[in-house]
Chains A and B, each alone.
Chain A
């Protein structure tokens, strides 16, 4: 098998570069933003949970919300990248899911929406 044939087998799309790595980054980012919103809401709802998220006292629960979200984002990216690197995946569906997670995450950071979910 020639080098070109091996390359085309590994990267079957026209551009010669699989979209798996991109899909992993996109979905992980959407998930990371979503988790940030969820943790922000959870800390707002529950004082006990908020106290658990005090990683750095001067910053308060925000320290745990942000550190946890970033950690989960990076971990998700690593896992997805290992699974999808070099592969071609259904990026249309992955984009749709990522954008939905991103949108909901953004919405969850908006205080009036957070309050409405809590019936305030």
Chain B
């Protein structure tokens, strides 16, 4: 299973970290809504609280890894400028997309939106983690904080979804590739 370094890093960014983040945010939203209908508040053991806090920190850390790797590692590969006279634009995704009116929309809408909105997912999830850590036990007495948690979870999910969907479509139409070839798994003869 051969791929290139750039392609592999892009897969890690989008499918592993981004995909995990989307699922985690959905899970938080579902669980948070479910607790609204509990007759008795959920009381975790000390160990349970530590695990929950560690998981929150992990999800927040993943969100920042996704956006930082996207903007500062993968985006430079995407927007690389081809040398003069280059006819094969396959290693220059942005130029490739912009070279035709049938594909330029993927950049003008997809990348132009994704590159900014994704950061709102990271900001939102950081706030959610902070509020859930500090106010978890007293959330029922603070309905406004509860509303804010729901709004920011929804924002994180929406933002990450936009970034994820357009990321997939952009990589489908103009794959990030290049760098050293690597073998993920060798075929047995």
Contact = CB atoms under 8 A, between A and B. Distances in A.
Nearest to B108: A111
Contacts of A22: 131, 134-135, 142, 145, 148
Query: Size range of the interface on A?
Result: 35 or more
Nearest to A41: B116
Interface residues of B, number: 35
Contacts of A66: 67, 71, 119
Main secondary structure of the interface of A (DSSP, over half): helix
A60 B113 contact: no
Interface in B32-68: 67
Interface of A: 13-17, 19, 21-22, 25-26, 28-29, 32-33, 36-37, 40, 56, 58-60, 62-63, 65-66, 69-70, 73, 91-92, 95, 98-99, 102, 105-106, 109-112
Given A109-B113, A109-B117, A98 B141 contact: no
30 contacts: A15-B142, A16-B138, A19-B145, A22-B134, A26-B131, A26-B152, A33-B120, A33-B155, A36-B119, A36-B123, A60-B79, A62-B116, A63-B72, A65-B116, A66-B67, A69-B119, A73-B123, A91-B144, A92-B144, A98-B148, A99-B151, A102-B120, A102-B151, A106-B117, A106-B159, A109-B120, A110-B117, A111-B108, A111-B113, A112-B109
B157 to A, nearest CB: 12
Contacts of A105: 120
A95 B144 contact: yes
A36 B72 contact: no
Interface of B: 67, 71-72, 75-76, 79, 108-109, 112-113, 115-117, 119-120, 123-124, 126-127, 130-131, 134-135, 138, 141-142, 144-145, 147-148, 151-152, 155, 158-159
B76 A25 contact: no
A106 B155 contact: yes
Contacts of B147: 95
Which of B79, B109, B152 has the largest count of A CB atoms less than 10 A from its CB? B152
A59 B116 contact: no
A111 B107 CA distance: 10
